[in-house]
Amino acid sequence: MDIFCDKLKEECGVIGIFQEDINSISRRLCFGLVALQHRGQESAGISVINEGKTKYYKDMGLVQEVFDDTILDKLEGTIGVGHVRYSTTGDSLCENAQPLVVNMKNTSISLAHNGNLINATELRDELYDHGSLFQTSIDSEVIANLIAVNYEGDMPKAVSKSIARVKGSFALVIGTNDMLIGLRDPFGLRPLVLGKLEGEGYVFASETCALDVIGAEFVRNVEKGEMVIVTEKGVESIFYDESQKKRLCSFEYVYFARPDSDIDEVNVFMARERAGRILANESPVEGDMVIAVPDSGIAAAIGYAKESGIPYGTGLIKNKYLGRTFIKPDQKSRELAVRLKLNVLKENIKDKRVILIDDSIVRGTTSKKIVTMLRNAGAKEVHVRVSSPPVMYSCYFGIDTPSRKALVGAEKEIQDICDMIGADSLAYISIDGLKKSIGCGENLCMACFDGDYPMEVPKKSNKFVFEKN
Amino acid sequence: MDIFCDKLKEECGVIGIFQEDINSISRRLCFGLVALQHRGQESAGISVINEGKTKYYKDMGLVQEVFDDTILDKLEGTIGVGHVRYSTTGDSLCENAQPLVVNMKNTSISLAHNGNLINATELRDELYDHGSLFQTSIDSEVIANLIAVNYEGDMPKAVSKSIARVKGSFALVIGTNDMLIGLRDPFGLRPLVLGKLEGEGYVFASETCALDVIGAEFVRNVEKGEMVIVTEKGVESIFYDESQKKRLCSFEYVYFARPDSDIDEVNVFMARERAGRILANESPVEGDMVIAVPDSGIAAAIGYAKESGIPYGTGLIKNKYLGRTFIKPDQKSRELAVRLKLNVLKENIKDKRVILIDDSIVRGTTSKKIVTMLRNAGAKEVHVRVSSPPVMYSCYFGIDTPSRKALVGAEKEIQDICDMIGADSLAYISIDGLKKSIGCGENLCMACFDGDYPMEVPKKSNKFVFEKN
Amino acid sequence: MDIFCDKLKEECGVIGIFQEDINSISRRLCFGLVALQHRGQESAGISVINEGKTKYYKDMGLVQEVFDDTILDKLEGTIGVGHVRYSTTGDSLCENAQPLVVNMKNTSISLAHNGNLINATELRDELYDHGSLFQTSIDSEVIANLIAVNYEGDMPKAVSKSIARVKGSFALVIGTNDMLIGLRDPFGLRPLVLGKLEGEGYVFASETCALDVIGAEFVRNVEKGEMVIVTEKGVESIFYDESQKKRLCSFEYVYFARPDSDIDEVNVFMARERAGRILANESPVEGDMVIAVPDSGIAAAIGYAKESGIPYGTGLIKNKYLGRTFIKPDQKSRELAVRLKLNVLKENIKDKRVILIDDSIVRGTTSKKIVTMLRNAGAKEVHVRVSSPPVMYSCYFGIDTPSRKALVGAEKEIQDICDMIGADSLAYISIDGLKKSIGCGENLCMACFDGDYPMEVPKKSNKFVFEKN
Amino acid sequence: MDIFCDKLKEECGVIGIFQEDINSISRRLCFGLVALQHRGQESAGISVINEGKTKYYKDMGLVQEVFDDTILDKLEGTIGVGHVRYSTTGDSLCENAQPLVVNMKNTSISLAHNGNLINATELRDELYDHGSLFQTSIDSEVIANLIAVNYEGDMPKAVSKSIARVKGSFALVIGTNDMLIGLRDPFGLRPLVLGKLEGEGYVFASETCALDVIGAEFVRNVEKGEMVIVTEKGVESIFYDESQKKRLCSFEYVYFARPDSDIDEVNVFMARERAGRILANESPVEGDMVIAVPDSGIAAAIGYAKESGIPYGTGLIKNKYLGRTFIKPDQKSRELAVRLKLNVLKENIKDKRVILIDDSIVRGTTSKKIVTMLRNAGAKEVHVRVSSPPVMYSCYFGIDTPSRKALVGAEKEIQDICDMIGADSLAYISIDGLKKSIGCGENLCMACFDGDYPMEVPKKSNKFVFEKN
């Protein structure tokens, strides 16, 4: 567990490019992955295909730690796939890094997956019975094996047939010897967009911010249940499953996505700012200054400040050089460790009634430390306002949720949480308020807040398999 | 040159600890250096002294890249010195990393230096004549050799005698076998504070933020021309030179120091916010939103917004995973490279008259790219306001200033700069305004703005030796 | 190409251990691999199985570069498989390192292979049609996929059925959740022995020298067409194919195996010494001293000296610190490069008629340099005697032979080779002589000398697929 | 301690080159260091001077681990100095790697030292009093500081004056901005030769084998008490101290030097072979085969065999891939560890009376293991003959001798040693026999055998400072 951060974690970011120039593709993929780095900081990988030859490179670490000019120079191609990964399981192994590159008859496929399959175990068993092998513990290998079994020369057909067997969430980018495929699960749980390079190619990416850094123009979202196929002839679309209602993950707006991205054409920053405004109306409180838990609470804090008329200010300063892993603090310093990441701006806090905006509370441990820091700095009152509802249910679709026992929202009443973190008052935005802020009402998956899963999830007995300890 | 950043760069951050417990010192030094990381990202080092035995470890890289638990476990001691360095010269070599550790008669000294000597060449020549050797190209070795020559068993005396020969800026922390010394040059150009650990020791650090992360209480500033000596007997103070007026570097407030630090008891964030307010009064403009160049412009932007009544908003999103060095963009992507670091929040900018607050402009190249990005995102007007005066003169005291030819403020009129960067209007805070914002009037060095150096600086002919190309 | 060495190269060394103690297995595997290091210096890997859980570690480099105590401490198990690899193809990639670890229904298998399949392409195509995937370019993955397809709960049966489909050479060690299997192809082309640990387990290894370093006692060879299965119940043997005559690779005695190993119960050093004696009888020459090309020519040189009565001496000194890869010599130094590896003992050579014994000549380039060195050192005459016949045919069974064009023995008459390398006389041992020296007559594969392959090999048109350029 | 090797260890190897071509110098230095690698495997370094600019690179590890093409390409110059080091003290630190590069007035000097100063502590104290600093714990820094103190523009004069103060052994190579100096101590304890590059420059090196790999011709030895200075004008010689008799270290012939080197014009291999012959005459024994402890015992074994008429054979095979450091064997494997390095050729040993030739015995631990291995392999008798006398006294001149308590030759009678190692008989060559084998009688230092040191050595009380534990 990241001792500095009490947030849910995204599993992955994906990107794919189809273009003519073989030289620029690896840097474009790499720049795109840097833009998507917030979606996964554990491993990074790029695969490129050049005239039927596939090369790839992947390793543990941030994009900039994994790649350098020497490596990128060797990765020439017209079709490319990239991936950043945050591991939700204990298997932080290099062989689990993506894209997964496998050979089939007459083609290789490079597969990048964002999401989680809930019937992976059953499918793996079926595939074992068929005589398939597994070399990794990632879901992508299940998908790749299904494709191999179903492949008879027509890749989109093989992908459709395979995907029909799969349950769960997925935004997939698949590169073959002559095509680039982007697809989203029938509920559209994970985001994927299509962009156009200046007159010469196409890009798939998890978020629009990846289009911006490579100068690509947003074309449209890949839709739920849609497979978009880019070949030399152009872009083709197949709706392989239209039976389901759209259920985009609402947490993309709450925390995962970058504020400058549009997810399904709703800008993330603006959604967060609206959530802050709604929160101000739902749970007003008197105070002298609205401050954010940086950086993810800033947009909502600005919204809350605007709506309430209470000035927005800065109360916490974040150390921008702090990496993901670090030395273990000695016993004495343990309680100070959070200050490595966040420090209080004492002079601005002193004697003030502070309204602290956080985007979410998962375990509550960090909130407690921040409230204590603010009080020690002289804050007269600390009112915590959270721009998402209490997280009460585990996610089965690619988000690293702790077990319910660790979810403070599932285990405690709000007043008890307030007492635990030592705040003067605590309020969360309502479920309706969050929906309104995003503005696409019933098309969202809010299962982590309300338990209404878009599909049947594993029964309780099995469920803990998917939970973290 | 960092292609993502058009800022002046600090040379170094220093820390020193004197305590009883030998186990916790290396982690405390390390945490302190993480807090000071913004002052130097090129190399990091720690030296510890335990019962007359000195061990040290230093390498190129960020603090967290250089140190791990295995290394820190070996660094036990009761006296410790730490350093982070940003190289202003081309010699980015490991042997130039600090602290410099040297052996003298009956003691070793570990020396960490923030600042720049302007008579280093002359002193080095004198020392050569004496028969002294040099193994590095850092000023600290000049100081160490002076101390060795003057040392006759009384370290504070040797340090005083040596420092009397030195011209330039320096905040020094020196660890010996039985004492920890902190001192500041006669002008107090570089900052240094003294803190107290919970009942059991003392800390020197460049900024108060380093005290916060190790739970130390601020005691007082080390004063200009003062040497503070910590031994087992306690804290002693020697004012070795009281002939000069204080001239603290004003750029500490403008850009270098962390906003949560107090520099000579003035909080940096609050000074920046006041500068924003003053700027709003000096150079008002009509607009729909005040935005900052993140992160250094945020405090002034909030101040400008408050004073002007124009709402504060977010227009630019910074990628928090972008490291210092990176792959070279291909020709096509070069102009997009700035977007790796900064992206526009289009929906928030569109059709708005934007007031963009930056803390300083050095070359102007990045400003131009940001204004272009804002316009491309649909901003109706872009008014640039800078919370420091034009940088017109080179610094000789430890700041990495480009040559005057590259300083846009020295070479062009303000209107020409405005045209160059493509803004609708451009204004800088006045020199008096900046002084007022900091609030310690004549005690500041503002030579980079007004050319009024606190001491005679090398003549023009020699000057380019110190300038970067 | 290794610029210092003109020898054929073995592809691999394998080891497997079945024992009770989970702690010592990784070090034993590691020590065994160090003993087998001469069979492959490109990558090394170890896989261990502990109560149904498989862990592995493999990387490019020598055994001692790949493994350290930290890694070995984590590799606990009762069943273990190890591998060292020399790549005969261009794919010196980490994903091609072995053991190959794959998951099947209810078990994983760890597979280490020494040899080469000549119908791998056909099998791969069949498996593609079945829907199998390939993630590497090594033959072991073909075998693993065959096993997966044939596996119905009985591993020995699945292995038998799979192996029946395979053509080529193989000594295989396979670890599953509860058994360790060692097997050899129907011709016994590659060696494999079974050893017994002191009262508590069993070992398979390519050579007996690996048994010695872990204190295991030699039990017997695994026979051609035999599969030996070690489980908790003990050792079981299945002869899965008895249709073929034994054809052990004769080059194991000529160059590959370590002199202290017994290969199929014939000691390698003694066989080489006998070859030297036979060579002395077949091709006597007057001379003052018999010297060896170290180290591989020493045994035959001693034999030649004994038989001829001409004293054995040392004429060439080998640098024992020279690694496999090295800096590129500048143009001037290129011709001196061989001296980095070998230097002449001038005083011992001067004015002498030298008989130089080499174990084999492949391209002839190094021989020429050595003869020149000896002449420059003052040798009056240089007579070259080679303790294996001319290499004239490519190997299809796991040895890295250059294309026939590069095989000097295939392209030139012996007198022409003698002229080319600048020797006074040149002679090779006869094919019969080599057979006699090994002493197991018709049970040897001597195809690289006589073209009599033990099975049909790819037709000429396909053949170059297997050849190096 | 190296668990695989019971030998005394040399401290260092040095090389220096003066030439016109700036490109080839780094590779030549590097090749020379590879040839000298046996003299020190802990660290390697190269310094080059090009038109008054000095660059260097040094690190822990073998030459080939430290250097690659990228690094060598950057090291251009006309004067260069190289060094390999084996640390006799615990300070295996990178800052102790050589060459030591320091700046003095108007020049830098690069200093590579082979040897040991016995008055370093006194000199360091004097230099402290002068105000000199020390940054390392190597003797070379004492010499460099002396030179700096004595330097008044004439480097050879400064070196002479400095060297006059120094007691101990030294072969030094010093590169300045315009000259290359090679010198040897007044006793000539450590070797140094001068070579000539093909028509264009000069080389100093510890051994002639380094000349061979770079195609340099041997010119002559640097003599005891001589300083040879190479400048653009040519080669100049100064005999700075002719008061002493020559006392070259005899252990260079016994073990340190490469067999293909000539040390003071006596070939090492031939000297060792002669020692074997003399040993055969002094201590004959009946036997069936003479075998060597490889590699260092081979020459003497060949000599012994020739003289005795008993055939020379191979009984022990050495693993040529075993590096210096390695994983720790578990308890069970500890006694097997020596087999990682050496294995018995059982078939050749069985039922034979073996005469085992070793070049020296220091602690006796390895000898015992080898004798046991031979007996276990079936040897009927094992007679050990050692081609150097018992090591009884510590060396103060650069050789890593253990404390006397650990020197089995100092602590036990020969018969007791014989019993301890389990041999049937044991004999050492006589002191006179060794002298005769080398052939330069009284010009040798044999202090480790007879205690007759060439100069006064530290009294017993101080002595243990120099001893290892």
Tell whether B291 and B357 lie within a shared domain: yes
pLDDT for res B8? 74
d(CA B121, CA D289): 71
What residue in A sits closest to C146 (Cα-Cα)? A131
With cut-offs at 50, 70 and 90, classify the pLDDT of residue A467.
very low
Distance CA B314, CA A272 (A): 12
Which of C102, C125, C129 minimises the CB distance to A133? C102
**How far apart are the C-alpha atoms of A3 and D86, rounded to whole Å?**
44
Question: Where does the pLDDT of residue D400 fall: very low under 50, low under 70, confident under 90, or very high at 90 and above?
Answer: confident
**Beta carbons of D51 and D31 less than 8 angstroms apart:** no
- Neighbouring CB atoms inside 10 A of D465's CB total 8
Q: Choose one of B211, B246, B281: the last residue of a domain.
A: B246
Position C186 in a domain: yes
Separation CA A206–CA A39 (nearest Å): 9
C27 touches chain D (CB under 8 A): yes
Q: D317 pLDDT band (50/70/90 cuts)?
A: very high
Helices D268-282 & D431-438 angle (0-180, nearest 10)? 140
Contact C125 A144 (CB under 8 A): no
Contact of B237 with B209, CB cutoff 8 Å: no
- Name the pLDDT band for C97 (thresholds 50, 70, 90): confident
Whether the per-residue pLDDT at A5 is higher than 70: the answer is no
Buried b (16+ CB within 10 A) or exposed e, C148-162: bbbbeeebbebbbbb
**pLDDT beyond 80 at A199:** no
Q: What is the pLDDT of residue C468?
A: 30
Residue contact A339–B212, C-beta within 8 A: yes
Structural domain boundaries enclosing C55 = 12-246
**In sequence order, which residues have a C-beta less than 8 Å from that of residue A414 and are 6 or more positions away?**
A390, A426, A427, A428
| Residues of B taking part in catalysis | 12
CA C77 to chain centre: 28
Confidence grade of residue B467 (pLDDT, cut at 50, 70, 90):
very low
Q: What percent of chain C has pLDDT over 90?
A: 80
Residues on chain C touching A132 (C-beta within 8 angstroms): 131-133, 148
* Spatial CA neighbour of B75 closest among B100, B95, B46, B34: B46
Question: What CATH number is given to the structural domain containing B315?
Answer: 3.40.50.2020
User: What would the pLDDT profile of A218-260 be if each residue is shown by its tens digit?
Assistant: 999 999 999 999 999 999 999 999 999 999 999 999 999 999 9
Q: Within an 8 Å CB–CB cutoff, is residue A302 touching chain B?
A: yes
pLDDT at B187: 97
Residue B160 structure tokens = 């005083």
Residues B320, B420, single domain; the answer is yes
Assigned domain for C60 exists: yes
pLDDT (0 to 100) of residue D5:
65
pTM of the prediction?
0.91
- Specify burial of residue B417 (Cβ count, 10 A radius: 0-12, 13-18, 19+): buried
Alpha carbon of residue D64 to chain centroid: 19
Domain contains C123: yes
Q: Angle CA(C16)–CA(C19)–CA(C21) in degrees, nearest 5?
A: 125
Q: Which has the higher per-residue pLDDT, B327 or B23?
A: B23
C135 touches chain A (CB under 8 A): yes
CA atoms within 13 A on the CB side of D462: 10
Q: Do C260 and D344 touch (CB under 8 A)?
A: yes
pLDDT score, position D314: 96
Q: How many folded domains does chain D comprise?
A: 2
Considering the domain boundaries, does residue A189 fall inside one?
yes
Residue A394 CB neighbour total at 10 angstroms: 25
Task: List the chains bordering chain D where 3 or more Cβ pairs fall under 8 Å.
Answer: B, C
Nearest to A86 by CA among A211, A212, A1: A1
Q: Are D169 and D276 contained in the same domain?
A: no
DSSP B22-83: SSSHHHHHHHHHHHTGGG--SEEEEEEEETTEEEEEEEES-HHHH--HHHHHH---SEEEEE
Report the C-alpha dihedral over residues A342, A347, A352, A355, rounded to 10 degrees.
-30
Question: Residue B176 in 3-state DSSP?
Answer: coil
Checking if the pLDDT of A329 tops 80, the result is no
Q: Residue C467 and residue C116: Cα distance in Å, rounded? A: 13
Q: What are phi and psi of C194, to 5 degrees?
A: -110, 130
Tell me how far CA of residue D194 lies from CA of D147, D197, D236, in angstroms. 23, 10, 12
User: What confidence score (pLDDT) does residue A464 get?
Assistant: 34
Does D458 fall in a domain?
no
Choose among A102, A129, A131: nearest Cβ to C134: A102
Annotated catalytic residues of A are 12
- Chain B touched by A22 (CB under 8 Å): no
Residues A81 and A225 in one domain: yes
Residues of A in contact with C145 (CB under 8 A): 131, 133
**Residue B168 contacts residue B41 (beta carbons within 8 Å):** no
| Cα separation of the two ends of chain A | 10
User: CATH number for the domain including D170?
Assistant: 3.60.20.10
pLDDT of residue C465: 35
For D114, the token pair is 């082979």
Give backbone dihedrals phi and psi of B35, rounded to 5 degrees, phi first: -65, -25
In whole angstroms, give the CA distance from residue C149 to residue C130: 9
- Residues of chain C in contact with residue D70, where contact means CB-CB under 8 angstroms, are none
| C448 contact partners, CB below 8 Å, separation of at least 6 | C8, C251, C391, C392, C393, C394, C395, C399, C401
Note the pLDDT tens digit of each residue in B112-161. 999 999 999 999 999 999 999 999 989 999 999 999 999 999 999 999 99
- CB of D460 within 8 Å of a chain C CB? The answer is no
pLDDT of B465 > 50? The answer is: no
Angle at D50 between CA D48 and CA D54, to 5 degrees: 50
Among the partner residues C64, C72, C328, nearest to D69 by beta-carbon distance:
C328
Residue C468 is given by DSSP the state B
Residue C180, domain member (yes or no): yes
- pLDDT, tens digit, for every residue of C247-267? 999 999 999 999 999 999 999
- CB-based contact A27 B329, cutoff 8 Å: yes
Q: Are residues B219 and B275 in the same domain?
A: no
Candidates A376, A318, A334; CA nearest to B35 is A318
Strand positions, DSSP E, B67-133: 79-85, 100-104, 107-117
Q: How far B209 CA lies from chain A's nearest CA (Å)?
A: 8
Q: Which of D23, D258, D345 sits opposite C330 (nearest CB)?
A: D23
Q: Is residue B258 part of a domain?
A: no
Whether B180 and B285 share a structural domain? no
Quote the Cα angle for D262-D80-D61, to 5°: 75
Residue A343 per-residue DSSP state: E
Q: Are residues A240 and A362 in the same domain?
A: no
Among the candidates D215, D246, D277, a domain finishes at D246
Helices C120-130 + C139-150 axis angle, to 10: 40
Closest partner CB to B102 (pick from D133, D148, D150): D133
Establish how many alpha carbons lie within 13 A of residue D119's alpha carbon, considering only the half-sphere containing its beta carbon.
15
Beta bridge partners of D263: D266
Which pairing describes strands B444-445 and B248-249: parallel, antiparallel, or unpaired?
parallel
Whether residue B345 is found in the same domain as residue B232: no
Q: What is the mean pLDDT of residues A386-404?
A: 88
Contact by Cβ (8 Å): A255, A358: no
Query: How crowded is residue B235: how many other Cβ atoms within 10 Å of its Cβ?
Result: 16
pLDDT at D416 over 80: yes
Tell me how far apart the 2 most distant CA atoms of chain D are, in Å.
72
Residue B62: C-alpha distances to residues A23, B37, B41, B261 (Å): 32, 7, 5, 20
- Identity of residue C27: R
**pLDDT at residue B464 tops 50:** no
Q: What is the mean pLDDT of residues D384-398?
A: 94
Shared domain check, C74 and C114: yes
What is the C-alpha to C-alpha distance for residues A379 and A117, in angstroms, rounded to an integer?
A: 46
Which chains have at least 3 CB atom pairs separated by less than 8 Å from chain B? A, D
For residue B5, tell me if it sits in a domain: no
Whether D225 and D186 have beta carbons less than 8 Å apart is answered as: yes
Q: Are residues C92 and C166 in the same domain?
A: yes
A74 to chain C, any CB pair closer than 8 A? The answer is no
Which of these three, A215, A246, A277, is where a domain ends?
Answer: A246
Active site residues of C: 12
Question: pLDDT grade, residue C326 (50/70/90)?
Answer: low
Q: Which helix (H) or strand (E) holds C185?
A: none
Contact predicate C11/C400, CB 8 Å: yes
Shared domain for A214 and A302, answered yes or no, is: no
The strand pair at B193-197 and B262-263 is best described as unpaired
The predicted pLDDT at position B3 comes to 53
Kindly give, in sequence order, each residue whose CB lies less than 8 Å from that of residue B59, ignoring residues fewer than 6 positions away.
Answer: B43, B44, B45, B65, B66, B94, B97
Distance CA D361, CA D338 (A): 16
A165 and A297, same domain (yes or no): no
